[in-house]
Amino acid sequence: MEIQHIILRHVKMELLEPFKTSVFTETHKEFILVEIQGKNGLSGWAESVASPEPYYKEETLKTNWHIMEDFLIPLLLQNPVSHPEQLKKLFEPIRGNTMAKAALEGAMWDLYARTLEQPLAKVLGGTKEKIDVGVSLGIKDSETELLKAVEKHCEEGYKRIKLKVKPGWDLDILKAVRKHFPDISLMADANSAYTLADTDRLKAFDEFNLTMIEQPLAYDDIIDHAKLQRQIETPLCLDESIYTVEDARHAIELGSCKIINIKIGRVGGLHESKLIHDLCKVHGVPVWCGGMLEAGVGRAHNVAITALDNFTLPGDTSASSRYFDADITDPAITVENGTITIPQTPGIGFEPNRKRIEERTYYSKLYKL
Ligand code: OSB
Ligand code: MG
């Protein structure tokens, strides 16, 4: 896998509607798009999921650019690898910065799969032909608006609805949604909006028959989550606090969660995602693929990893058309009856459209030896 050059692009796309969580509101999708061109002329692609602000995780678009340019890209250019799994070791001296690592690693996986002329999902060991997906609905201005959004996405066939919650936008809206949609698969994501002092409030979630509550407590906690899990029926799912397969092992051993949300960017790449997936499978812990409002390239990576068999719960990878008027891949990611078909073409299987990428690129830089 000899590298000809690496191009980083700062891409900005307007979101069709703002996305609001307990912590932040996003109106645009702004990210680094990585293209790694091999000496064989093929290009591998990936997105960094770091946003301009450190509201989800400490990494940002700018820290990612710095870490890639000054540390990871020099390592990649100076140390040829024959398989993307070798990158974990190569990048190990650089602490943390999982989103930056995942973006370069992901582009190397795409390049690797394209070189083998095989779909990325298959190269990763995925066996599914189709995957089930759900939607993540941000905090709305009113209950009526939320109910309309739930109805719309249920009608479209999405397999489960995730509601962003925070104190004050939780019990009432869950009650209303359950009343109108008694049978849908429903879950809540708090993005760390609660503490153990809210245990009674979180216990009250039990009556809504949620498939899980995602990351109710601190973004870096697994101790209090274990205490909380012992006191409530609803399974807890960890998102923010799992960065590595070791974190996953600690959380499972402590009983901090019964489900894990795998985000390729948060855990440092596809290889680490696979390791977490495999560990969870051994322990009977289901996983699902989270989302970071990705554009088409990132979405395509999510689709590929979800082809692995322990991704048994519907993920957050919904259709491109929910977020963008025109996505950067051909085709865009489409959902039919709550499912996405795994592409059979080489690599990520959704082709980056250079013209549309160019139109949305504010700055780019090429790196070579
Ligand atoms: O916590 O899962 C999250 C989006 C940005 C940052 C964090 C999260 C999310 C989502 C959206 O829930 C998932 C998506 O539609 O991509
Ligand atoms: Mg989450």
Q: Is 291 in the pocket of ligand 1 (CB under 6 A)?
A: yes
298 lines ligand 1 (CB under 6 A): no
Looking at the CA of residue 318, tell me the nearest atom of ligand 1. 15
Any ligand 1 atom below 6 A from CB of 239: yes
Measured CA to CA, the distance from residue 116 to residue 141 in angstroms comes to 49
Domains of the chain: 3-117+351-367 (3.30.390.10), 122-341 (3.20.20.120)
263 is catalytic: yes
- CA–centroid distance, residue 209 to ligand 2 (Å): 19
Kindly state if the Cβ of 106 falls inside 6 Å of ligand 1.
no
Catalytic member of 29, 159, 164, 258: 164
What's the 194 CA to ligand 1 centre distance in angstroms?
17
Q: Mind listing the pLDDT tens digit of every residue in the chain (369 residues)?
A: 899 999 999 999 999 999 999 999 999 999 999 999 999 999 999 999 999 999 999 999 999 999 999 999 999 999 999 999 999 999 999 999 999 999 999 999 999 999 999 999 999 999 999 999 999 999 999 999 999 999 999 999 999 999 999 999 999 999 999 999 999 999 999 999 999 999 999 999 999 999 999 999 999 999 999 999 999 999 999 999 999 999 999 999 999 999 999 999 999 999 999 999 999 999 999 999 999 999 999 999 999 999 999 999 999 999 999 999 999 999 999 999 999 999 999 999 999 999 999 999 999 999 999
> Ligand 1, atom 1: nearest CA belongs to which residue?
191
Confirm or reject: Cβ of 191 under 6 Å from ligand 1.
yes
Instruction: Indicate the top mutation candidate among 19, 49, 161, 237 to test ligand 1's pocket, ranked by most ligand atoms within 8 A of CB.
Output: 19
Q: How far is the CA of 139 from the centre of ligand 2 (A)?
A: 13
CA 49 – ligand 1 centroid, Å = 10
CB contact at 8 A, 293 and 26: yes
Distance (angstroms) between ligand 1 centre and the Cα of 136 equals 7
Q: Is the CB of 316 under 6 A from ligand 1?
A: yes
What number of residues does the chain have? Answer: 369
What does pTM read for this prediction?
0.98
